[in-house]
A = this chain, B = another copy of it.
Amino acid sequence: MISFDSMKSMLDESYKHVACSTCKSRGHGLFNGISGAELDTLEAQRACNFYKKTQSLFVEGSTPRGVYCVNHGKVKVFKRGDEGKEQIIHIAKAGDLIGFRAMFSGELYKVAAESLEDSNICFIAKEDFLNMIEFNPTLRNGIIKELSQELSDRADFITNMAQKSVRERLAFSLLILMDIYGEDPINLSREDLANFVGTATETLIRLLKEFKEDGCLEIEVRKLRVIDKIKLISLAGN
């Protein structure tokens, strides 16, 4: 059965198949500096799909068959710990590529991905993607750079996890989320936010309240809006 909300989204312009050539999100990501002929190839090879909120792209342990390119929406990439609690490793936004790591490692997925809101996500099959990488040095270097960048981000992430208090980590996380959500308010469940920060949901809720009382944050149920970035930066502890 189709909910009113997802129905609306299907009728929404965001659901229309977007040509790669006119895809506004392309400018942000890997396929930015792509040329005419290659753009046509990409166009021909990708399949555009609609994912409604909380729909799974792939799960831990499954076989990678291709990469996902977000045209519109947000996707969480996460791993489950021993007790089943999710740790969100990354939140992908429009223009971002998901699941390319597994293309190269030859292993099964070690993480899972799920849409956080109604999203348009294109799919490029493994062989097609690997072909592009193999024969397009620009694309290839872009991928290598992307992998390197993420590696660096994760070193930061690990250091923060290990050394910062939950309060500092929340402030830091909100700053990251500001970049991801841009002009839009941060739209995450308390549980997802807790799983991104790496804390218990109850602790997160208490801290959000503190931040609100400190005048850093405006809270409307599921929408968070940072109103004092400077203060948040100082709360993040450098």
Contact = CB atoms under 8 A, between A and B. Distances in A.
Nearest to A102: B148
A24 interface: no
Q: Is the interface of A mostly helix, strand, loop or mixed?
A: helix
A151 B150 contact: yes
Contact of A152 (B83, B101, B157, B159): B101
A7 interface: no
Copies of this chain, whole number? 2
Interface stretch (A49-57, A139-147, A220-228): A139-147
A182 interface: no
A198 to B, nearest CB: 3
A85 B158 CA distance: 13
Nearest to A151: B101
A156 interface: yes
A105 interface: yes
Given A104-B141, A144-B104, A87 B151 contact: no
A229 interface: no
A82 B147 contact: no
B237 A148 contact: no
A230 B81 CA distance: 20
A89 B155 contact: yes
Contact of A145 (B82, B104, B140, B160): B104
Nearest to A89: B155
A168 to B, nearest CB: 8
A106 interface: yes
Contact of A87 (B106, B147, B162): B162
A163 interface: yes
A77 B33 CA distance: 34
Contacts of A145: 104-106
